[in-house]
Every structure is written in C-alpha cells, then in structure tokens.
Amino acid sequence: MKAMVLHKSERRLVEEVLPSKEPADNQLGINVKACGVCRTDLHIVDGDLSNAAFPIIPGHEIVGEVAAIGPQVKGFKIGDRVGIPWLGHTCGTCPYCVNHQENLCDHPKFTGYQIDGGFADYTVADARYCFPLNSSLDWAEAAPLLCAGLIGYRSYRMAGSAKKIGIYGFGAAAHILTQFAVKQDREVYAFTKPGDAKAQQFAASLGAIWVGSSDEVLTETLDAAIIFAPLGPLVPAALRSLKKGGAVICGGIHMSDIPQFSYDILWGERQIKSVANLTRQDGDEFLRLASEYQIRPSVHRYALSDANSALEDLRQGAFEGAAVLVP
C-alpha cells in the first residue's frame, strides 16, 4: 500500500510503500477511494495535538470499498461502500460507553491520530465505526461528510431549536452545515475572516441570509452561534451577538486561548459548550439526512502524493469548501 506518513518531530508527510494489514477479528480492510483533509489533520501535523501514535498515517474522512472482512464482522460484504470517521475505537465498558455517550469514552482511539488513517490507498478499521454509504454520492464529495459533516451536525444538534444561527469560520464544516440548516428553514449568519470577500460570496451562494466579518456585531441577536475557526477571541465576539438563553458552541478539537471578557455578555443564562467527537447515532442520523437533503460538498481534489500541498493550501485558506485526497 502507498501512504503519506507523519514521523515524530516532523512537520511534513513522507510518501512510503508499506505492507498492507489483514483485518483483525472485528475489522474491515478497505480500499480507500477518497479521504478528506481536515483542519484536525493540520493540527496533528503542526504539533498542536500532542498524543499522536508516531509514525502515523493521518486522515479521518475516509470513504472506500470493503476489500476484506474480519472473521467476527457481521453486516458487511465485499464491495460495500463505507465511510470511516474520526472516532475509530471505544472501550465499550467505561461509564460513558455504557450510557451511549461513546463520544466521551475514557479510552478512545482516533483515526489518523492513534490509528492509521486514510492518507493511503488502503486501510483497516473497526467495523463498529464504519458507516454504510449511499451509492449516489461521488467518492470525493462523500469524504468530507465523515468529519466536517458529522462534527457540524453534532454542533448543530447542540444548538437545539435555534432559528437564527451564526457560523464563525466558513470552511468545510460550515459550508456543509449551511446547506443542512437551509434545508430545515433555519437562518444562517456567516462570519468570515475580515475582508474575505470570496468566503462571503460562497456563504451567500449556499443560502446564508447575512454575511460579514467576524469582528462585526449584529444589530439583531442570534439564537445560537457555532464556532469552527480555532480562534479563542471569537468566543466573546459570538457572545456579544447572542440573545439571552442562547449558546455558543465550539466545534473544533483545538482552539487558541479564550481572552478575558466581561461577565455581562455571558449573563442571562448564555452558555459556552464544546463538541467532542461523535456517536454512532450521529453518524447514522446525519448520513441518512445528508442523502435525503442531497447535500453536496464543494471539493478540491488532490493526488495522494500531493497531501502536503493540500495541507498547506488549507493553512493558507486557498480554497472554499473541502480538500480531498484521491488515491
């Protein structure tokens, strides 16, 4: 198998040819057809997340075909289309797992972080965390649904019945979530980097009713705000646009420090929440609804060997939508 590998103390992936693994008892072997490039991959490569199992193959927005099946796996057959998300293994015995909160498992392992991921042409994965995929989606279009879509959906669910939703940071997750929210007759207010006219035009084209810079304060109040950009100062900025009883939801795994802010913008039973991983229920629900709503991510395709270029383009904000590696 060909793979792009990250070694300890390196900040660049290396293309290698490795022996492919046979699936263990509860695993599937999967021919990777596409793998999205997520900002979390960038955090891993940049060293912002410190618990990677080096050397590691990044990538956790994986879609492909089942090529081999472990002896204890049921419900899959050779040739099935499947998706593999960020959460790749849970213990099944901790209080969170027992309470159907496996996203908070005390002993998890994550795809592309502690488990080799999809920046490769083949991978193995725990069958419990492999989701069947609708055959109508293009491989590359399907890939971002496995993290940008899923984490966006979990963030969206935490916003409850909010009608007016502010989204801060208009990248892969935001552009999928905007399509989803519009389908459900919610109002999306898109906050982008100051002066980013391309991102604002992109947000408007997807149905956002207001677009502007993240340093702008609305004259009306939001029911909820979701922050995807990894910038702590956006938390007090979002609070200032929030109605009483509303919530600011931080959708990323990493964020810079949140600066000090005055209590009056939090008072009034406003809340700050974080999103952690996903549950299998999230995956089943979101992928079914994404198919029903005909959600179509905007993707920018890269060859597997160009993974470093895709990461750098993501860092520089060189495209709208999502980057996807296609082996």
Structure tokens at 55: 């050397």
CATH superfamily of 2-133+297-326: Medium-chain alcohol dehydrogenases, catalytic domain (3.90.180.10)
Residue 90 has pLDDT above 80, yes or no: yes
> Average pLDDT of 155-163?
95
| In the chain, where the domains are located | 2-133+297-326, 150-274
Q: Note the pLDDT of residue 9.
A: 87
> Average pLDDT of 141-159?
95
In 3D space, the residue among 179, 155, 152, 135 whose CA is nearest the CA of residue 61 turns out to be: 152
Phi, psi torsion values for 143, nearest 5 degrees: -55, -50
> Which residues make Cβ contacts (< 8 Å) with residue 291, sequence separation at least 6?
134, 136, 137
Confidence of residue 135 (pLDDT cuts 50, 70, 90): confident
> Average pLDDT of 304-309?
98
pLDDT digits (tens, 9 = 90+) for 34-44: 999 999 999 99
CB atoms within 10 A of CB 14: 13
On whether the CB atoms of residues 222 and 270 are closer than 8 A, the answer is no
Share of the chain above pLDDT 90, in %: 94
The answer to pTM > 0.85 is yes
Confidence of residue 249 (pLDDT cuts 50, 70, 90): very high
More confident residue, 217 or 194: 194
Mean pLDDT for all residues in the chain: 95
For the domain made up of 150-274, the CATH class stated in words is: alpha beta
DSSP strand pairing (131-132 vs 242-250): unpaired
Q: Note the pLDDT of residue 19.
A: 96
> Average pLDDT of 152-167?
96
Strand partners, 165: 188, 224
* Residue 256 DSSP symbol: P
Residue 229 has pLDDT above 90, yes or no: yes
> Average pLDDT of 144-157?
95
Reduced to 3 states, what is the DSSP secondary structure of residue 247?
strand
> Which residues make Cβ contacts (< 8 Å) with residue 210, sequence separation at least 6?
188, 189, 190, 218
Q: Note the pLDDT of residue 195.
A: 87
